[in-house]
Copies of this chain bind each other. A is one copy, B any other.
Amino acid sequence: MGWGDLGAFGEPSKETPNLDQMAAEGMLFLDFYTANPLCSPSRAALLTGRLPVRNGFYTTNAHARNAYTPQDIVGGIPDSELLLPELLKKAGYINKIIGKWHLGHRPQFHPLRHGFDEWFGSPNCHFGPYDNRELPNIPVYRDWEMIGRYYEDFKIDLKTGEANLTQLYLQEALDFINKQQTSQQPFFLYWAIDATHAPVYASKQFLGTSQRGLYGDAVREIDDSIGKILRHLQRLGISENTFVFFTSDNGAALISAPKQGGSNGPFLCGKQTTFEGGMREPAIAWWPGHIPAGGVSHQLGNVMDLFTTSLSLAGLQPPSDRQIDGIDLLPVILQGKLIDRPIFYYRGNELMAVRVGLYKAHYWTWSNSWEEYGKGTDFCPGQSVSGVTTHTQEEHTHLPLLFHLGRDPGEKFPLSFASEEYQRALERIAGIVQRHKETLVPGQPQLNVCDKAVMNWSPPGCQKLGKCLKAPESDPKKCSWPH
């Protein structure tokens, strides 16, 4: 989803009454970011509280490339990383992931090996259908074992867009909440739905109900489900004891627009880019009785903060043996404080941009290559800012492009290099960047090697279902990341 996909964030169809209500009852974050313009690294950052360049969810195969965890990826979340659920266990939490994991599908990366107690969902994106020869269909797991595959046992009709997956995820969530409420055990639910990721889908009852086409149908179903989850918490009487946060892992994918792509509101470009459209996210915190209703925060937030904030809520300290990038948002949420902190915009191994206050400095600009662009892959359809949405990797490290995101949220008007404002703002940012780079210890890159042999041929449990497939011989290669 993109920043502009919710009514509360100005989507012109205003079709998200439940999320809008969640915002009205909670706190709306207008300056909230993800840690990466792509899925897997963002999710790894959320669960580790660390930038992908630290936790290993990046590639060094080429400069400034977005990488993720397709089926042939060899890497995944390193054992050395401490995930939020692992830490929450120490405070007696039971942890469940529903939906897309995306931190590696090989056995050592299984979410139940990294702190989760339960899982219903898939390790990779719901792409397909595949032929189970060149590519196996993506498995859907319940806990340790697969219980079927997408397009076989969990249908997605690519013609109509019909799939009941969000309903399954919703029911799983409600059941899990019921169970924990009965057992009185504190819980962490990571509800990682993916209906707005192409191929976009919605249940029959939502198909055709949105002004926005299939994408809007998917948004409406997610919105409806979130309303049901929040009301469920209230009905069970545990809403004042349950902190809920809604956000997204990257900006709307404009390459999928208009049929399968969402809206980044007034921001530039979308998913895959380090412009605001790629990384600024809708975000709402909800905790009745604690968060004052109708709050609006301009705190620069990041999905990594959910790691630190969740630990704080559980009375735990973040690990002290490593750099944690997330900050504790509770003073922001509960006392309306504003914490001065930068936002780093990485693309793979490169720090592309930095936001400090209302200023954003671009050290590198790139949308995608002329070659890709010429073939119709456009991360900024209808948008073109000369010298900014460049199709070659442009280095600006000596004279960064500087934007004032208050006057110019769309990153269309770079400040004059000669202006006093430029000098003043850049001086401050340069110091922050220098300190960041000097102290950065990059993690071992996990997204460099691909191998067809590691695909989901025979996930655990496949025997029981008669769904084991024969893997080809191992042939590890450098993954190719074109953008």
Asked if A360 is at the interface of the complex by the 8 Å CB criterion, the answer is no
A407-B266 contact given A4-B10, A12-B30, A383-B383, CB 8 Å threshold: no
Question: Which residues 292-319 of A have a CB within 8 angstroms of B?
Answer: 296, 298
In the complex, the chain B residue whose C-beta lies closest to that of A211 is B406
Is A265 engaged at the interface, CB distance under 8 Å to the other chain? Answer: yes
Judge if A477 is at the interface, Cβ distance under 8 Å.
Answer: no
Q: Is A258 an interface residue (CB 8 A)?
A: yes
Q: Which of B12, B30, B406 contacts A216 (CB 8 A)?
A: B406
Interface string of A411-429 (1 = CB under 8 A from B): 1110000000000000000
Contacts of A12 in B (CB 8 A): 3, 30-31, 265-266, 405, 409
For A, the interface residue count at a CB cutoff of 8 angstroms equals: 43
Q: For the complex, give the distance between the alpha carbons of A405 and B296 in Å.
A: 29
Asked if A406 and B213 sit within 8 Å, CB to CB, the answer is yes
Chain B: minimal CB distance from A13 (Å): 6
Q: List 29 A-B contacts (CB under 8 A).
A: A7-B296, A10-B11, A10-B266, A12-B265, A13-B30, A13-B298, A14-B296, A210-B406, A211-B358, A211-B406, A213-B404, A216-B406, A216-B407, A257-B412, A257-B413, A258-B404, A258-B412, A258-B413, A259-B407, A263-B266, A263-B409, A381-B412, A381-B413, A382-B384, A382-B411, A382-B412, A383-B383, A383-B384, A384-B384
Listed in ascending order, the chain A residues whose CB lies under 8 Å from chain B are 3-4, 7, 9-14, 28, 30-31, 210-213, 215-216, 257-259, 263, 265-266, 268, 296, 298, 358, 381-385, 404-413
